[in-house]
Amino acid sequence: MLIGIPKEIKTNENRVGLTPESVHEVVHHGHTVIVETGAGLGIGKTDDDYLNAGASIVDTASEVFAKAEMIVKVKEPQKIEYEQLRADQILFTYLHLSPDPAQTQGLMDSGCIAVAYETVTNPHGGLPLLAPMSEVAGRMATQVGAYHLQKLNGGLGALLGAVPGVEASKVVVLGGGVAGLNATKMAVGLGAEVVVLDRNVERLRYLDDVFNGRVKTIFSTAHAVEQHCTTADLVIGTVLIPGANAPKLITNAILQKMKKGAVIVDVAIDQGGCTDVSKPTTHAQPTFVANDVVVYCVANMPGGVPLTSTFALNNATLPFVLSIADKGIKQALLQDEHLLNGLNVCQGKMTCQAVAQAQNIAFTDAKEAATAL
């Protein structure tokens, strides 16, 4: 199979779909890889690194889209990219379609076969291709939250961790999944007072055991969210419904009661965000102020640490890239129910039920669509 790696063009996105090391493995399996010039510079990898791994270098993204049978990316295709996709071409990347009807329509109009990293599953009910970026984003959330709590950055002027004789800052983590766990690890390590809210009692029991009582675990209700967010210095929103829009847990009413200079880091922004005011921001301009609260909504947080993120992501995606390339997309999908769960768009059909419901469009069963390929 001919696999193409274009340079990412989303604002401040420095990750790349495949590292040279991954390219070497793909070539070892007998496939051909073309890479847009400069695609790896954000992680310190040159065109020569890709050439030495067995890839060919092309001058433009349009050459990649025109020639490749499968496009491997990191972030969702921008308009100029999805307009270049063609019928039966495979796209393998993060999509986050629920809050993005324009991209959804563009992918459906192209006739491509789009597999989303974020809805691929594993036998344990996890999301293995989302997990490494959730780990990064969760850890970053505590870092950037601590930074923006500084007075000069718009925050209330509090140090996240305690010093003798002064109360520690209160960090509230909404969602105890992978991102929430990693945000909590960082906050506990810095000495903050940490409260984690989740609706899964078994997950709360697990977190209580992991942190040995160092964090408060609270069953999430509307009352509990309001109670803890309105007394928090930093709120980290990590709630996730796979493939669907994130629930709006932090309402305008709650925002109005929060501390002046408190900080919200909305890790759920890729799925529309978990506050009433959430809107995507960039690493260049990461925050805005709403009701005197600093809100951070960078939609590609792991792009801020592309070296770590790219290698972590490739560790998870490479086996699936090889499966699709070795077997062909139809056989790969039909032999692996977990990869099949990643199929979001197939030859003009919407095959992710959560997206179909969010956008009120027709849904086609993924196995039915894959069987018809």
Question: So what's the pLDDT on residue 152?
Answer: 96
- Please state, in angstroms and rounded to a whole number, the distance separating the CA atoms of residues 76 and 119: 13
pLDDT tens digits, one per residue of 207-263: 999 999 999 999 999 999 999 999 999 999 999 887 788 999 999 999 999 999 999
- 49, 198, 233, 270: the catalytic one is 270
**Active-site residue, 270 included:** yes
pTM: 0.89
- Please state, in angstroms and rounded to a whole number, the distance separating the CA atoms of residues 57 and 212: 52
What's the full length of the chain, in residues?
373
76 token code pair: 């969702």
**Active-site residue, 31 included:** no
- Please state, in angstroms and rounded to a whole number, the distance separating the CA atoms of residues 204 and 151: 33
- 31, 96, 148, 228: the catalytic one is 96
Q: What band does 125 get if pLDDT is binned at 50, 70 and 90?
A: confident
pLDDT tens digits, one per residue of 49-76: 999 999 999 999 999 999 999 999 999 9
pLDDT tens digits, one per residue of 338-366: 999 999 999 999 999 999 999 999 999 99
